[in-house]
Amino acid sequence: MKLLAKTNQIYLAFSLVIYLFAGLAFYQVVRIMIYREVESRLRVERLDFEAYIRLHKVWSDSTYFVENKIDVDPVGAHTPQTESFTDTLIRNRYDNELMPFRQFTFYVPIQGITHRVSIRKSLIQSYQLMEVITATMAACLGLLLLGTFWFQGKLSGRLWHPFYETLSRIKRFNLANATPLQLDKPEINEFRELNEVLRKMGDKMQQDYRSLKEFTENASHEIQTPLALINAKVEQLIQSEKLTETQGRWIEAIYQASRRMARLNQGLLLLAKIENHQFTDNQTIDLTALLTEKLEDMDEVLQHKKIAVDIRNSEPFVVPLPAALAESLVTNLVNNAIKHNHPEGRVELLSHADKLWFSNTGSSLTTDPERLFERFKKEGGSPDSVGLGLAIIKEICDNYGLQVHYQETNSWHRFCISPKPETA
């Protein structure tokens, strides 16, 4: 949910609650004022009634022509004599409907006998007035709420326009480009300070990216050269006839260590380049065809280990990947399947348009499957492995819209590659 939508939603809910309480309070105030007015008129009629009694010493119903307006009834001497206001309903004799009245009850002595007097006044007009006032108030508050909500949306849209413009430019910003992050200087101080901080961060990130890129490129060149020289000189020493058996073992160990260091250097540099998104030339790659071709290239090694290859239901599994990374992913998958397989084992390739399974037989996994894709996490103690193959596969998938999963079933080690699900 967008920030403006969330803000407007909270504002609307808060306004509805406030307007509801305001409407109820206004209704109660109007009701109290109307009741006070009716009760004041009833008190005046009480004064008129008492004046009439003092003048005539007796009460006659014929003096009032409004139906049920006043009742006078004698009561006992011990009856509590407290005046009170109450609401009551009286049936209209013309249309037989119940009508609301406000009733004032008090006690007056007439000819030495205490009488209870009940004076009533119709509330029909007052209720109609309250309904009109309430409807008018509700309409005004509703229009005010809608107008305020509309104005708030328009105002917020204009106020937050610099923020969305900044967000759009950050989305288009690419570290690999030499163009620095260009941001406006809006009038609002907070947005201007935010843009200034983001601009400085962008410049620092570009500088760090260039430094890291230069380091990886220099390291790739400067480290590989002496390693290649060491390997070449060690190979010459191995071919020498003057070495003793002990010296030969030492030189062989040096040679294997230098080769392992070279592979380790290449793997770490490749991981650094993938993390820095230095591979940008995406191509449409059919991983199924590439894996099939790689298995054919490794046919001699597979035959030597007596590993059978089973390729079935192989529909093209097409993904956007740089060609170099696709080759690295396939090579590491095949090398892992051969290295951790056992003699007379099997390798299986199964693919559909949206998923690819690459499986191999092998010994049961002894480490935690969740940590299998970590760097330098090796299964077994093979001296030829540097523990980066599966980490490279995971890094490629994570950075190029793919996901890889591992599962072990009955000594079968299965790797499943599929596109990442799209998220909103």
Mean pLDDT for back-to-back runs of 10 residues, the chain (424 residues): 71 81 83 87 88 82 55 81 86 77 88 86 80 82 80 76 85 78 84 88 83 73 74 75 75 78 77 77 87 88 87 84 89 87 87 88 77 69 66 87 86 88 56
How far apart CA 326 and CA 290 sit, in angstroms, is: 8
Strand 308-314, strand 346-352: pairing: parallel
The pLDDT value given to residue 143? 86
Helix (H) or strand (E) holding 199: helix 189-238
The pLDDT value given to residue 237? 74
The pLDDT value given to residue 378? 64
The pLDDT value given to residue 342? 84
| Residue ranges of E strands in 192-287 | 282-286
The pLDDT value given to residue 423? 42
Largest separation between any pair of C-alpha atoms in the chain: 154
The number of angstroms, rounded, from the C-alpha of 42 to the middle of its chain's C-alpha atoms is: 64
The structure tokens 């009245």 sit at 101
* Spans of all domains in the chain: 3-156, 172-278, 280-419
Nearest to 290 by CA among 373, 377, 396, 379: 396
The structure tokens 């969330």 sit at 6
How far apart CA 332 and CA 325 sit, in angstroms, is: 10
Could you tell me the pTM of the whole model? 0.52
How far apart CA 178 and CA 173 sit, in angstroms, is: 10
How far apart CA 230 and CA 224 sit, in angstroms, is: 10
CATH of domain 280-419: 3.30.565.10
Nearest to 98 by CA among 61, 63, 65, 68: 68
